[in-house]
């Protein structure tokens, strides 16, 4: 009888290993206490998340009950005080897959979710997460556990980022939520207008909605390089802005300077090198005054840099640039696969 009991316990333990529950335990408290109601809309056609292997066992990553109930309970547990806003989370994709290599495996999490404020005229977009997270069995054999933790962390970041932002002025109906991306992009003036307004744009929303900061005038140095924006006695280095338009040409501020923004039928993009978006501390790119290294991304770029440092200009010309899209819903870079990797 004792042997049978031990075997039963062992069987139960094996069964438990076949499931990894997403533990929604991080704090997602809204310090503003601005939210009255919270709703989860799960529009995923397949509610299964996916699985990875642990030795010879398949481990499914799951919610304890389901996404709607668990995330709703998590939110209200952290936010017992009510405000006035009706907060909505739209789940678009949660998918876990495994890429098996010869001697290891890579677990991959694809997660896309968006937040809205529901008002009388419809749903107003706030923010979204559209990301891929990976973990290697070379780092940990517990791929399912690591991916479940990453799921919680990504949702936590989505909530906390959303609390800081104002909802967009454009509204869409509940029936149109599955198509919100294309509907909202169609309303963004920066993607349609032929003549851009000169000036500085403090964040991605003001840029994509084409609303420069009032009263600011762009200033250049003696070499024609934009260094600051001035509004009366107030002077701001250009690095403090998301983007600017100078003489009708849009530029994106990046760590080593700024780069021209281009437009095609897919949206906005820049041509940039990995070393410019993610410069190392020993980078030879120069920072001028307010933090600018030239009109990177155009013929004038190399001229401007060469006037200051011929070595930096030569180094930039020797490295191939890559098209990197700008996400109108987050302002983030959409990096192509293998960005910055040499063949």
For 204-234, the pLDDT digits (tens) are 999 999 999 999 999 999 888 999 999 999 9
Yes or no: say if 123 and 172 are a contact pair by the CB < 8 Å rule: yes
Task: Say if residue 297's pLDDT is above 80.
Answer: no
Residue 38 to residues 76, 117, 211, Cα–Cα distance (Å): 8, 9, 31
DSSP conformational letter for 195: S
For 253-274, the pLDDT digits (tens) are 999 889 999 999 889 999 998 8
Q: Burial level of 84, CB count in 10 A (0-12/13-18/19+)?
A: exposed
Give the model's pLDDT for residue 302: 36
Question: d(Cα 129, Cα 158) in Å, to the nearest integer?
Answer: 6
Give the model's pLDDT for residue 315: 53
Evaluate if pTM is beyond 0.85: no
Give the model's pLDDT for residue 291: 35
Give the model's pLDDT for residue 278: 84
Mean pLDDT of 227-242: 95
CA 194 to chain centre: 27
Domain spans of the chain?
Answer: 14-183, 188-334
Average pLDDT, the chain: 85
CATH number at 14-183: 3.40.50
**DSSP 3-state of 281:** coil
Q: Which range, of 53-67, 214-228, 281-295, averages the lowest pLDDT?
A: 281-295
Question: What percent of the chain has pLDDT above 70?
Answer: 82
Yes or no: say if 276 and 255 are a contact pair by the CB < 8 Å rule: yes
Counted residue by residue, the chain has a size of 343
Where is 317: in which H helix or E strand?
Answer: helix 310-317
For 173-185, the pLDDT digits (tens) are 999 999 999 999 9
């Amino acid at each position: 009888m004792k042997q049978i009991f031990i075997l039963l316990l062992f069987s139960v333990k094996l069964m438990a290993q076949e499931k990894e529950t997403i533990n929604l335990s991080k704090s997602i408290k809204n310090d503003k206490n601005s939210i009255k109601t919270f709703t989860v809309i799960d529009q995923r056609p397949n509610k299964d998340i996916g699985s990875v292997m642990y030795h010879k066992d398949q481990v499914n990553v799951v919610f304890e009950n389901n996404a709607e109930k668990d995330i709703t309970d998590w939110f209200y547990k952290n936010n017992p005080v009510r405000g006035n806003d009706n907060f909505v989370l739209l789940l678009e994709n949660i998918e876990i897959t495994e890429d098996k290599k010869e001697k290891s495996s890579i677990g991959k999490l694809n997660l896309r979710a968006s937040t809205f404020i529901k008002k009388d005229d419809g749903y107003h977009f706030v923010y979204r997460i559209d990301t891929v997270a990976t973990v290697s069995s070379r780092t940990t054999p517990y791929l399912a556990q690591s991916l479940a933790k990453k799921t919680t962390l990504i949702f936590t970041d989505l909530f906390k980022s959303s609390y800081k932002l104002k909802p967009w002025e454009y509204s869409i109906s509940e029936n149109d939520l599955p198509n919100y991306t294309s509907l909202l992009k169609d309303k963004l003036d920066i993607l349609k207008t032929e003549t851009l307004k000169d000036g500085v744009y403090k964040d991605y929303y003001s840029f994509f909605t084409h609303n420069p900061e009032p009263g600011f005038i762009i200033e250049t140095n003696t070499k024609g390089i934009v260094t600051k924006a001035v509004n009366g006695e107030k002077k701001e280095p250009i690095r403090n802005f998301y983007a600017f338009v100078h003489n009708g040409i849009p530029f994106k501020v990046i760590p080593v300077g700024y780069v021209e923004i281009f437009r095609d039928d897919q949206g906005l993009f820049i041509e940039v090198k990995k070393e410019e978006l993610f410069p190392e501390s020993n980078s030879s790119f120069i920072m001028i005054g307010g933090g600018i290294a030239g009109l990177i991304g155009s013929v004038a770029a190399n001229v401007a840099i060469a006037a200051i440092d011929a070595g930096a200009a030569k180094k930039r010309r020797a490295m191939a640039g890559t098209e990197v899209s700008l996400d109108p819903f987050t302002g983030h870079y959409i990096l192509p696969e293998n960005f910055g990797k040499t063949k």
